[in-house]
Amino acid sequence: MIVIPKKNYMITVVIILSTIVLTFVLANSYKNKYRKTSEMYNYLSEIKINEIESYLFENPSIIIYFADKYNLNNDDKEIKLKKIINELNVYNYFIYLDINDVDESFFKKISKKI
């Protein structure tokens, strides 16, 4: 009878677990890289949360469009909004902010500044 050392079992477990983790990491990065984004995300200027205060200070008459850039359920409404923005020529007054980056403290902080 052949005796297999415990070290080999540990190496096998590590290889299996690392393969599973690597598979999930690669699948997630592939999904995020090739995920379809909203029409407005590609059309409007996007701004990050940490830049919003200075941007509001410089441009107090802007309209912030909050939306999930990966949620395509409102695609028809966004196409209509894009047409309205073009017709009224107010492209420079709109900015895009991804709702996934925003939390409740952001709204409290902004409401105090306004």
R_g (Cα) of the chain, nearest Å: 23
Supply the pLDDT for residue 11. Answer: 94
What's the half-sphere exposure (Cβ side, CA atoms, 13 Å) at 112?
Answer: 6
Long-range contacts of 25-28 (CB under 8 A, 24+ apart): none
Helix (H) or strand (E) holding 94: strand 94-98
pTM over 0.85, yes/no: no
Residue 35, pLDDT above cutoff 90? no
Task: Give the mean pLDDT of 53-62.
Answer: 78
Task: Give the mean pLDDT of 59-77.
Answer: 76
Residue 28, pLDDT above cutoff 80? yes
Q: Where are the domains positioned within the chain?
A: 1-35, 39-113
Supply the pLDDT for residue 84. Answer: 85
Tell me the pLDDT of the chain averaged across its residues. Answer: 79
Q: Rounded to 5 degrees, what are φ and ψ at 4?
A: -95, 125
Residue 40, pLDDT above cutoff 90? no
Supply the pLDDT for residue 95. Answer: 80
